[in-house]
């Protein structure tokens, strides 16, 4: 029995060798399909992991703002969706658009040991650098919070109320260096106008929802209050968690503490935005892979065509095999072997090319290959190989069944 199986396999290999070019073109379809699916899958996986790492740096931040009854304190950044959370009560929302020092103290007590908290002033006003005028975001921070939160790339943090630090993007756009002077304030709006000296340029922080320092001016609390007023009337309170897994517990603690009677605060949770973005990337990846999968359908048609032509050309050979005692199952297996061999060869070549081309695609589209050799990325190679082989076998089932069920007498009469 073992010898028969070897003969059947040899007959399958012989058929492939005799029709090498035709078989090669059929296998090429599988190669293209495997490469397309695995490359797109690896690109999506690497893009997802890259975005997730970037967003994880700010996912441990909660932003607490006053609830003004404007629809739950939603936010938008770079097209992201709202990530706010509000605990509803039967009372009306607060009409204040700022948080008081008493609110800040309550938030600090509610957080306990879950993380650190700091208040933040924020406004936008007219600025002038030399002869150029424009508008800029201005942040006001307490001295201790500046030391804990900000990282200076050049210079130092402000030590007086006449000095400021600026973000790297803002400094580049305005041509600022250490010692540059900035005039802040709009006299036409009855604002105080003051000149400040740049004493530091911050390290680039990137995308953030709590403190967008890259394109802003940051000054001490005393200087900010001198310009805009509103001492201890904070625009937001930022919470930096020690562990992102404590986000829901911390949110609940803050809401229970401050929203017992009225809706005093809303909380913006960046982890929800991260989930939304990664979900969108995953959906796009699936869609692109589905398009790439069309190439495997083309390959399936090619395999089916090759197998049907093989059956037609070998009708007499099949008749001879049946007449000398070869069983239907063995004829069926012979043609299935051909389909498996074509699929296996195509899948292996496709897998090797996927590693090479996939690396190039990821480098070009994502900009980094730091995650290329991770499980989440490389898993698409064996998956696409399995799909390619399965399609080959499926495409060869009907031709194999047709060959196995040929009438031996009719087959022997065939020219």
- For the stretch 273-288, pLDDT in tens is 777 777 888 888 888 8
Query: Residue 95 pLDDT more than 60?
Result: no
Lowest mean pLDDT among 13-17, 63-67, 311-315: 311-315
The strand pairing partners of 181, in sequence order, are 197
Write down the pLDDT at residue 160. Answer: 92
User: For residues 29 and 343, what is the distance between their CA atoms, to the nearest angstrom?
Assistant: 10
Distances (CA, A) of 46 to 37, 98, 279, 289, 366: 14, 41, 14, 14, 7
User: Which helix (H) or strand (E) segment is 398 a member of?
Assistant: helix 380-404
Q: How far apart are CA 201 and CA 179, in angstroms?
A: 11
310 with 16: CB under 8 angstroms?
Answer: no
Contacts of 189 (CB under 8 A, 6+ apart): 125, 126
Mean pLDDT over 257-273 rounds to: 82
User: Could you tell me which residues are beta bridge partners of residue 202?
Assistant: 152
pLDDT at 211 over 60: yes
On the question of pLDDT at 137 being above 50, the answer is yes
- Tens digit of each residue's pLDDT (9 = 90 or more) over 9-50: 888 888 888 888 888 888 888 898 899 889 988 988 898 888
The percent of residues above 70 in pLDDT, for the chain, comes to 89
Mean predicted lDDT score pLDDT of the chain: 83
pLDDT of 411 reads 66
Least confident stretch, 173-182, 260-269, 294-303, 346-355: 294-303
Tokens of 91: 């009372």
**Rounded (5°) CA angle 220-225-229:** 165
Share of the chain above pLDDT 90, in %: 35
**The tokens 């609110």 sit on which residue?**
103
Give the DSSP letter string of 245-294. GGHHHHHHHHHHHH-SSSB-EEEEEHHHHHHHHHHHHHHHHHHHHHHHHH
**Bigger pLDDT: 158 vs 89:** 158
**What is the reported pLDDT for 287?**
85
359-385 pLDDT, tens digit each: 999 999 888 888 999 998 899 999 999
What interhelical angle do 20-56 and 380-404 show, nearest 10? 150
Q: Give the containing element (helix H, strand E) for 360.
A: helix 328-365
pLDDT of residue 70: 57
At residue 245, does pLDDT exceed 90?
no
Highest average pLDDT, of 128-132, 153-157, 290-294, comes from 153-157
- pTM here is 0.61
pLDDT > 50? residue 71: no
Provide the 8-state DSSP code for 145.
H
Residue 164's region, left for phi above 0, alpha for psi from -120 to 50, else beta, is beta
pLDDT score of 234: 94
pLDDT at position 91: 35
Among candidate residues 175, 169, 256, 174, the one with its CA nearest the CA of residue 207:
169
Choose between 413 and 336: higher pLDDT: 336
Alpha carbon distance 388, 383 (integer Å): 9
Tokens of 147: 């030391």
**How far is CA 326 from each of CA 14, 46, 187, 377, 408, rounded to the nearest angstrom?**
17, 52, 100, 46, 10
DSSP one-letter string for 47-73: HHHHHHHHHHTTTTEEEEEE--SSSS-
Contact 414, 316 (CB under 8 A): yes
What's the mean pLDDT in 352-361?
A: 93
């Amino acid at each position: 029995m073992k010898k028969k199986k070897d003969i059947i396999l040899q007959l399958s290999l012989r058929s492939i060798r005799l029709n090498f070019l035709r078989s090669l073109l059929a296998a090429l379809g599988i190669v293209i399909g495997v490469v397309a699916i695995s490359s797109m899958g690896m690109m999506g996986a690497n893009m997802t992991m890259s975005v997730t790492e970037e967003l994880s740096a700010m996912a441990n931040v909660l932003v607490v703002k006053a609830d003004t009854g404007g629809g739950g304190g939603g936010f938008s950044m770079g097209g992201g969706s709202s990530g706010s959370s509000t605990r509803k009560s039967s009372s009306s929302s607060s009409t204040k658009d700022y948080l008081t020092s008493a609110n800040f103290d309550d938030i600090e007590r509610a957080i306990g040991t879950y993380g650190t908290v700091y208040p933040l002033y924020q406004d936008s006003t007219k600025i002038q650098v030399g002869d150029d005028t424009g508008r800029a975001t201005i942040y006001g921070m307490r001295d201790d919070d500046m030391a804990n939160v900000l990282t200076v790339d050049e210079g130092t943090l402000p030590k007086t109320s006449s000095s400021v630090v600026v973000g790297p993007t803002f400094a580049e756009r305005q041509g600022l260096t250490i010692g540059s002077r900035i005039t802040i304030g709009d006299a036409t709006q009855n604002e105080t106008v003051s000149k400040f000296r740049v004493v530091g340029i911050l390290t680039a922080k990137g995308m953030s929802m709590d403190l967008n320092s890259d394109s802003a001016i940051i000054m001490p609390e005393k200087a900010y209050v001198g310009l805009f007023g509103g001492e201890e009337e904070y625009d937001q309170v930022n919470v930096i968690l020690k562990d992102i897994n404590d986000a829901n517990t911390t949110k609940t603690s803050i809401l229970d503490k401050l929203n017992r009677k009225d809706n005093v605060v809303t909380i913006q949770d960046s982890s929800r935005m991260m989930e939304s973005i990664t979900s969108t990337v995953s959906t796009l990846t699936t869609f692109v892979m589905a398009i790439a999968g069309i190439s495997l359908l083309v390959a399936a048609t090619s395999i089916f065509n090759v197998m049907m032509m093989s059956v037609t050309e070998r009708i007499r050979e099949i008749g001879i095999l049946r007449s000398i005692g070869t069983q239907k199952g063995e004829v069926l297996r012979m043609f299935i072997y051909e389909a498996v061999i074509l699929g296996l060869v195509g899948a292996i070549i496709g897998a090797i090319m996927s590693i090479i081309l996939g690396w190039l695609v990821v480098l070009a589209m994502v900009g980094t290959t730091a995650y290329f050799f991770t499980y989440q990325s490389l898993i698409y190679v064996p998956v696409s190989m399995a799909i390619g082989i399965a399609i080959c076998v499926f495409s060869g089932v009907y031709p194999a069944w047709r060959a196995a069920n040929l009438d031996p007498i009719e087959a022997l009469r065939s020219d």
